Each structure stands twice: as structure tokens, then as C-alpha cells.
A and B are shown apart, each in its own frame.
Chain A
Amino acid sequence: MLRELYYVFAEFLRTFGALQLFFLRLLVNSPSIFVRRFGLVVAQVYNTGALSLVIIMVCGLFVGGVLGLQGHSNLARFNAEDSVGTFAAFSLLKELGPVVTALLFAGRAGTALASEIGLMKATDQLAAMEMMAINPVRRVLVPRFLGGVIAMPLLAAVFSMVGLLGAHLVAVSLLGVDTGAFWQQMQSTMDTRDVMEGVFKSIVFGVLASLFAVWEGYNAIPTAEGVGRATTRTVVITAIAVLIFDFMITAAMIRG
């Protein structure tokens, strides 16, 4: 029994190490790809970002609406309904914006990346590129990684903005909170530092989501079943990692 645990742990360490090396490889190749094959990166920003806009905006609107409802109903107990703006802004900018966007991103863009790359592996396209003396890491993986890293923070910002507008819609137009109070309370409590914390988180989550998607696709077993499993694993691993990192970053920021 102990022996099996040891093997499992050793295998985990081995995979973890391989992941680190893979990450390093992507990072090392990123600057030159960004500069010389910018068109590829642009195409991937479109694939992961622009095509995810709809789901991000719709979800953002409704999350903001819920915050407006919940915030108003709960703050009313303390006669502090005017603070619903602050409540919504805090929740969105520092937590829900980066985290929910990352989870939605993993579901929509992460799976697309993993399955696309896995399929290229299964149909020998990656091997064909290697045969044509073209490095598939540079041509296929790095642009997709960069595309995701660039798209995520932007998507998170859009999510938060739409969310705030949603909260405003619900709180002010539906529940009668004064619009001046909504924004004023928020502005006197929030700081650029708060916004930047959210942006920092979304960048970190973008790196995580893109890294895992590209990794799973590249290492998928080249069969239909293998690609399917790689796709599901992408979402699972990204979700877990994002939430763990969220906790660590939040803890670090509160203390520092």
C-alpha cells in the first residue's frame, strides 16, 4: 500500500517537473514569436478572447445583477443599501472578475485549445511539421499560449465592467438606490491598488489556464478518446489551480 502511494507520488512529481520544463520552454520562445510571428499571436487572441466575449459578457451581466440583488437585500438589514456599489465593486474587481472569468475561459477557450492541439497530434499534423523541419512548439503552442495570456486579463476587465453595470441596473433602476450614492460610496472606498490586484490575479490565471490547456493538448494520447480526456482534464486542473492560487494571492495581498 505504501509502495503504491510512493509510486503515485513519484509519478506526480515527475509530471510536475515536466510541466515546469514545458512552461520554461514556452516562456523562452515567447519573445521571438511575439515579435516575428505576431500574426499568429493575433489570430490566437481572436480565437481565445474575441470568441469568448459573448459568454463573458452575458455571465458578467447576470453575476453583477445578482450582486446588486443580494447586496441590496443584505445591506438593507444595516440600513446600508447605499453601499451596494462598494459591495459589488469589491466582489467583482478583486474576486469574481478574475476567478469566474478564468473558470469560464477554461471551459470555452481552454477546451478549444486542448482539443485542437490534441487533434493535430492525433492526425499526425505535429509530426508532419517536425518532418518539415518546423518546430511545432514554436509554431503551434507558443502563439496559443500567448493568445490566452493576453486575452484573459482583458476578458476579466470586461466581465467586471459589465458586472458593475449589471449591478447598477438592478440596484438603481430596479431597487431604487440613488445613483449618486452608488458611485460615490464606491469611489471613496476603492483604490487603484484594488483594481490592480484584480488585474494581477487575472494575468496569473491567464498564464495558468493557457499553460494547462496547451500542455494537455500536447500530451494527449493521440486517439479520439485520449483527446476527449485531455479536454476534460484541462477544465478540472485549471479550476483547481485557479482557486488555489486565488487563495494564496488573496492571502498575500491582505497581509502585505
Chain B
Amino acid sequence: MEHASDNLIEIVDLDYSRGQRQIFQGLNITIKRGEVTAIMGPSGTGKTTLLNLITRQLRPDRGQIIVDGVDIATLNLTGLYELRKRFGMLFQQGALLTDISVFENVAFPLREHTKLPNRLIRHIVLTKLHAVGLRGAADMMPAQLSGGMARRIALARAMVMDPDILIYDEPFVGLDPISMGLIVRLVRKMNDALGISSVIVSHDVQEVATVADCSYLISGGKVAASGSPDELSNTSSELVRQFMHGMADGPVPFHFSAPNYVEQLLGRDTE
């Protein structure tokens, strides 16, 4: 199949600041169609903010975000909602609606956006739940689910409208090894089986390495390094090395800025 471009999402020269903090400066990222792209970085670099910019919940100060050849800043409200329907997003805590059952949660986008008959909705929901292995939990309430289960249900919900792009916001945080392995396998399986593209925002280097085709490491508001997981672990950049190998000290310092140690102990810093 020929596509207009191999690049599904292009982020060009992005600037974004919140208050005094400059979060992104001249950010350039390309997300290729059909691939699993990871966006990594130390805590607080604004990875979730980047996702909000891609879905236009926030607007950049400068620069462009182009999805499938269309600059999203030019979209009107209808176009924006159409765009968002093409994304499936998995939030960090699952973000299931707590007052309705698991089945209803997965069925939610279908009920809101389509006029499909109940029979068909039932088919689709059960299929998606089966894909994540939780068809038996259909009648439970979100409060009864464990973290890993909630996240899998959220994945089923993200997939129910058959999106082109699946976005995962920190999908591995706080999971036990079994659940983690499960999610990792699901991410890869979904991406390849459904022919879609996936974007994972995470700082879990090990898990990401097993699943991503291409990774971007963001630091200081820019892309510090990019490439396949192998390329990144063999890099010469110190910053990248510190991050990829989890070293305690390096370009990202161990000590938070503080006055001179000796001076402070001797009480001379307050004079």
C-alpha cells in the first residue's frame, strides 16, 4: 500500500513554555507509520505535555505538529474531533469511568460516537476484551480491578474505535513483572496485527528496549538522542549513557543545587 508519506506524525521546531519554564525548545520528532516509537526522558521533561500538544489539548508557542500531512493548528472543532477519533489513548492510571461497569467503559466511545445496535456493540466489546484477555471481567466495576487489569481494560477501550494511532502514557509504571510482560506483548501484538502505529511515553528503559522500533530521548527541551534501542545503548553521548544505563550521577547531577557543603556545616553560609 502506498502512503502519501511514511511519516505519520511530524513535530517540527516545537516551542512550548508554561509560565516561566521553557519546556520545549526547537523540538523535532518524526513518528513513522506502522512503527512503535518510544519517547523517553528523565522525570519532569514534559513527556505528558508533549502528548497533550499532539492531541491539541494544548497549543504550542511556536512550531508545527503535522498529522498525516495536516497541520493540526489549522483544524476547526469538527476536524479536531475527527482527528481525536483516530487516536486511541491509554492514560497512566487507566482513567476508566468509575460509575459504570467494565463492559460499559469499553462500549463508551461506541455509544457516544456511533449508532450501532446493541448486538453489534456487544460483539465488538467482547472481541476487544478477549484481545486483552479480560473478557470474563466484563461485568465487574472499575473499583474491583487491579492496576494491571484496569490498564488492560483501558487498552481495550482505546482500541474499540479501531484507531490509527495508539498512544501510551507511561504504561509500565507500577506494574508487577507479569502484568508488565503482558502489556509489553500486547503493545507489540496490537501494533503489528492491526497495522497501526504506536507511541509510547515512558522512562522504563528495559521494557521499552524490547518493544520499540525507534526511540527518542528528550532532555532540556530538545531531542538529546534518537535511534533504535541498540544504537542508543552504544552511544557516545554521556547524557544518553547515564539515562540508558541508569547511572546515579552524570550530566544529570545527583545533588540538587545547594550552597557549599563545608560552609553550610560550619554555619558560615548565612553570614
Contacts and interface: CB of A to CB of B under 8 A. Distances in A.
Interface of A: 119-120, 123-125, 127-128, 130-134, 139
A139 B100 CA distance: 14
A232 B161 CA distance: 39
A133 B89 contact: no
A133 B79 CA distance: 11
29 contacts: A119-B98, A123-B93, A123-B98, A124-B91, A124-B93, A124-B95, A125-B95, A125-B96, A127-B57, A127-B91, A127-B95, A128-B89, A128-B91, A128-B95, A128-B97, A130-B57, A131-B55, A131-B89, A132-B85, A132-B108, A132-B109, A132-B113, A133-B81, A133-B82, A133-B85, A133-B113, A134-B108, A134-B112, A134-B113
Contacts of A127: 57, 91, 95
A252 B5 CA distance: 68
Interface residues of B, number: 20
Contacts of B91: 124, 127-128
Contacts of A123: 93, 95, 98
Contacts of A128: 89, 91, 95, 97
A138 B114 CA distance: 17
A205 to B, nearest CB: 27
A69 B85 CA distance: 64
A139 B109 CA distance: 12
A124 B92 contact: yes
Contacts of A131: 55, 57, 84, 87, 89
A69 to B, nearest CB: 43
Nearest to A37: B112
Contacts of A124: 91-93, 95
A134 to B, nearest CB: 5
B106 to A, nearest CB: 11
Given A124-B92, A133-B113, 5 more contacts: A125-B96, A131-B55, A131-B89, A133-B84, A133-B85
A197 B238 CA distance: 76
Contact of B112 (A119, A120, A130, A132): A132
B95 A139 contact: no
Contacts of B161: 132
A125 B108 CA distance: 12
A21 B96 CA distance: 29
Interface string B74-118: 000000011011010101110111100000000011001100000
A133 B93 CA distance: 19
Residue among B82, B84, B92 facing the most chain A CB atoms (10 A cut-off): B84
Contacts of A130: 57, 84
A124 B81 CA distance: 18
A125 B98 contact: yes
A120 B96 CA distance: 9
| Shortest beta-carbon contacts, A-B, top 6 | A124-B95, A128-B95, A133-B81, A133-B84, A131-B89, A124-B91
Contacts of A132: 84-85, 89, 108-109, 112-113, 161
Nearest to B111: A134
B192 to A, nearest CB: 24
Nearest to B57: A130
A132 B84 CA distance: 6
A153 B102 CA distance: 36
A134 B105 CA distance: 13
A224 to B, nearest CB: 14
